[in-house]
Amino acid sequence: MAALIETEGLTRHFPAGEEVVKALSEVTVSIAPGEFVAAMGPSGSGKSTFLNLIGCLDRPTSGRYRLMGEEVEGLSHDRLAELRSRRIGFIFQSFNLLPRTDALGNVELPLIYRGLRRRARRERAAMALAAVGLADRMGHRPSQLSGGQQQRVAIARAIVGSPDLLLADEPTGALDTRTGLSIAALFQALNRGGVGVLMVTHDPEVARFASRVLRFRDGRLVGDARQEPADAAALLAALPPMDQAA
């Protein structure tokens, strides 16, 4: 079986006046389908640049990148857009929801770009919202939802197209501990269902839910270790009820 993600010498340098910023240098890594991987490192370490390259949001300066066996770096803009639409789901800390559109409309948006008819779009969006526990919030706008619920809408939008890979950039950074655990538990459940997850974080408390941790420093991959992931659902269940919490 082809690797989900495979890079060889992946490099991204940016010109900055007469200088060159070496955001990412010579990263070689292989990630299998269905893995849950955390990319860690301080600000400026290269982890977000790596995520952008894997998400086909940027092109490398040099090196090779294959997604599900397909060479990515030489593809046209149209083919890259198709890959993003059909293979990859994006989840960001800022949610990026349309404020005047309800949850159902936000989730069905990617399917509009894929040309699905309205009935099929709404059915699939409703299923995705139900999968993240928001079947009773489909008609709510973002302002009517909590931060955790907004992030769940963003996750539903990311999975509505049945992607092979979820890319998450600091997905729990703006959430409280309880809500962050619920989102981590959802990621683990999706991963058990066969979806690959690549999550950028600077927080070891978040990275412990992954089964593999890539560590970046100064634009280079300096660590690659597997681990037994913490069970987010069990940790969430062990928290005191809301009315007993400090």
What the chain holds in terms of domains, given with CATH numbers, is 35-60+77-237 (3.40.50.300)
Q: Tens digits of per-residue pLDDT, 215-225?
A: 999 999 999 99
Instruction: Specify whether the backbone of 51 is left (phi greater than 0), alpha (psi in -120 to 50) or beta.
Output: alpha
Q: Tens digits of per-residue pLDDT, 140-184?
A: 999 999 999 999 999 999 999 999 999 999 998 888 889 999 999
Contact 90, 237 (CB under 8 A): no
pLDDT score recorded for residue 243: 53
Contact 55, 216 (CB under 8 A): no
What residue type is 111 in one-letter code? L
What residue type is 226 in one-letter code? R
pLDDT tier, 130 (very low <50, low <70, confident <90, very high otherwise): very high
State the Cα–Cα distance between residues 104 and 165, nearest whole angstrom. Answer: 22
Please count the other Cβ atoms lying within 10 Å of the Cβ belonging to residue 156: 27
Give the residue, 215 or 19, on which the prediction is more confident.
Answer: 215
What Rg, from alpha-carbon coordinates, does the chain have? 18
pLDDT score recorded for residue 1: 66
Kindly tell me the sign of the dihedral angle through the C-alpha atoms of 224, 55, 4, 12. Answer: negative
Phi–psi pair at 230, nearest 5 degrees: -70, 150
Residue 200 tokens read as 């950028």
197, 206, 207, 211: which is closest to 159 by C-alpha? Answer: 197
